[in-house]
Amino acid sequence: MKKSILFILIIVATCSYFTQGQALNNVLNVKSFTTMKWNSENGISYSQVPGANLGVTSFEVLSNDRISYLCNSTNEIIIAKASTNNVIRKFPVAFAPRDFCYDNNLFYVLSELKIDVYNEYGNHINNFIFSQNYAGTERIARANNSTYLLLASGNSLLIESNGLPIKPNEFEGWISYSGNRVATELTSSNTYKVKFFSILGLNSENSFQTDHKVAGVYLVGVNNNRIILDVQTFLTESPISVERKIISISFDNENIKGIEAELKIPNMYYVISNKEFTLSSEGMLYNMITAPEGVFVYSLSELISGKGITHYYPDFLTQKSYHFNDHLINIELK
């Protein structure tokens, strides 16, 4: 009898393990999209100021062969041809920009207390001022012809719709271009919960385990059948060392299913960037990495494991680490 009970417990434990840590069906294939050098004629300006290393704080892929960068060292948007790395156009934006979105041929640029709207030629179209209460916001999103602040709390704040400012309205979760929202919650040291709020009004949730203590979980985007998360876990807490993975979670209109693919991100941060990942309206995931050599953008697409050749990040990004905090200009106190 005791042996039977023990056997049952082993089976239950094994099933529980594979429910949380299922074998991944897919792998994320890494493919180079474009590269920009620092401080060259067709490059992006890099500069050091006390307490910060400035360069690219955000990026958006405009089409199959066009990309745009938000440069906080020169306060401008740079539009480039991805295949040749040649700059097509650049124009000034508001001081100290933090993030931007591209929607309906317009750029929405976030600064400390407002969002400025520009067309592709740099003409200023509109602006929306928001409350001092949200001065620390670093991310924005566009969905359904409306503008949202992505708050540090994990919620979305609607501040504009169809070109007109409105009374702020806060929603649980970060919103994606599709109108779907995702909220994340750390439920234990090694567990986080994902809540999905469908634009159709159908909600669901699921929990996932990690090998290391969770440092943070952030929404990258949602396409028609995947939730893409930036999951950060502690390797050590003193000194702080964090590992980042992109996690692809499958879902349908009824429920969140499971992790389909994941990919470790190189520990390479030459400048501080508020948006290093973006999910295009076509569902393609892109990753921007800043390194001493320049700015590198890769597309990340799912491939069925064992079918086809999988490509990875190049060795010069994975075999060394660089963090801007270790290379800041020292301020001498008098």
For residue 32, tell me if it sits in a domain. yes
- Please classify residue 315 by burial: count the beta carbons closer than 10 Å to its beta carbon, then call 0-12 exposed, 13-18 middle and 19+ buried: exposed
**Looking at residue 324, what is its pLDDT?**
85
For residue 1, tell me if it sits in a domain. no
**Looking at residue 331, what is its pLDDT?**
65
Give the domain extent around 153: 24-327
**Looking at residue 92, what is its pLDDT?**
98
For residue 31, tell me if it sits in a domain. yes
Query: pLDDT below 50 — which residues of the chain?
Result: 1-21, 334
The CATH number of the domain holding residue 75 is 2.40.128.630
For residue 91, tell me if it sits in a domain. yes
For residue 8, tell me if it sits in a domain. no
For residue 297, tell me if it sits in a domain. yes
Domain count, the chain: 1
Dump pLDDT digits (tens) for 65-121. 999 999 999 999 999 999 999 999 999 999 999 999 999 999 999 999 999 999 999
167 to 93, 94, 161: CA distances (angstroms):
25, 23, 10
For residue 269, tell me if it sits in a domain. yes
In this structure, what are the phi and psi dihedrals at residue 18, rounded to the nearest 5 degrees?
Answer: -75, -20
* CA–CA dist 170, 172 (Å, integer): 7
DSSP assignment, residue 200? T
**Looking at residue 332, what is its pLDDT?**
59
Contacts of 242 (CB under 8 A, 6+ apart): 215, 232, 233, 234, 235
* CA–CA dist 14, 61 (Å, integer): 43
Taking the CB of residue 326, how many other CB atoms lie within 10 A of it? 8
**Looking at residue 108, what is its pLDDT?**
98
**Looking at residue 185, what is its pLDDT?**
96
3 state SS of 10? helix
For residue 2, tell me if it sits in a domain. no
